[in-house]
Amino acid sequence: MASSAARMVSRSFTAASKTQLTAGLRTRPASFSRLMRRYATAAREQPRLRLGVTAPNFQAKTTCGDIDFHKFIDNSWAILFSHPADFTPVCTTELGAFARLKDEFEKRGVKMIGLSANDLQSHGEWIKDINEISKTNLQFPIIADADRKVAFLYDMVDQQDLENIDQKGIAFTIRSVFIIDPAKKIRLIMLYPASTGRNSSEVLRVIDALQLSDKKGVTTPIDWNAGQDVIVPPSVSTEDAKKKFTNVKEVKPYLRFTSGDLK
């Protein structure tokens, strides 16, 4: 069902040439508005993405070359995050922060890929600003999504923008975060309004929690950080937990803790 909706979205854009899309973005807001309304209709017919579903695949141009998204992920974890536009203040600080965390993501086996609703030339110029301001060297790919193909496929558009397309002539993407595992399953979705910057440390914290849960069969409590105690899930009896883990502290029969530094 989701794939048929994605094909519907793709067909709507196949009908318009790249030249027409570019012109619609810059000089013909009325024609672009009609195009976006077709996208909005397809997006409303597409089921909302849920945790545990396979991340929709797509092909796109990026600052690191053309990609097939699933092939890009390969057997790694991945984080896909969107931005409203190039050369905007909040987005610039965010991209710089993620670029500085390159080693932390690589240590966890996570590939980063960004998305912004502009073309490759704009991205290239913007990256120069990001590197200058944040004193970094941004190396992960940024998707060129001027036609909003990926933004609508992943439901990255604010409802207010859909309702005001006639006035604005364009629909901006919100700040979405998708954490995707090596099986291409969506494990976490965060949605932020355009006015609010994200917390890069929270993204790393969630990845740590997901990877530890998958590896050791535990869950994590509120405000958990790597190395802190974790929870033994209710599906494991206390007797079995004591065999599996060296140290189990029972607060209640349904609430048991063990060391988060699991070997």
pLDDT of residue 14: 36
Tell me the pLDDT tens digit for each residue of 74-108: 999 999 999 888 898 999 999 999 999 999 999 99
pLDDT band at 147 (very low <50, low <70, confident <90, very high): confident
Assess whether pLDDT exceeds 60 at residue 226: yes
Domains of the chain listed by start with CATH number: 49-198 (3.40.30.10), 217-258 (3.30.1020.10)
Does residue 2 or residue 220 have the better pLDDT?
A: 220
Name the catalytic one among 21, 35, 36, 91: 91
Task: Examine the residue annotation and report whether 64 is marked as an active-site residue of this protein.
Answer: no
What percent of the chain has pLDDT above 90? 61
Assess whether pLDDT exceeds 50 at residue 4: no
Does residue 69 or residue 29 have the better pLDDT?
A: 69
Q: Using a CB cutoff of 8 Å and minimum separation of 24, what contacts does 225-230 make?
A: 226/260, 227/260, 227/261, 228/260, 229/257, 229/258, 229/259, 229/260, 230/257, 230/258, 230/259, 230/260, 230/262
Does residue 122 or residue 167 have the better pLDDT?
A: 122
Q: Give me 69's structure tokens.
A: 């998204």
pLDDT of residue 155: 87
pLDDT of residue 27: 40
pLDDT band at 170 (very low <50, low <70, confident <90, very high): low
Assess whether pLDDT exceeds 90 at residue 261: no
Tell me the pLDDT tens digit for each residue of 126-140: 999 999 999 999 999
Average pLDDT over the chain, rounded to whole? 82
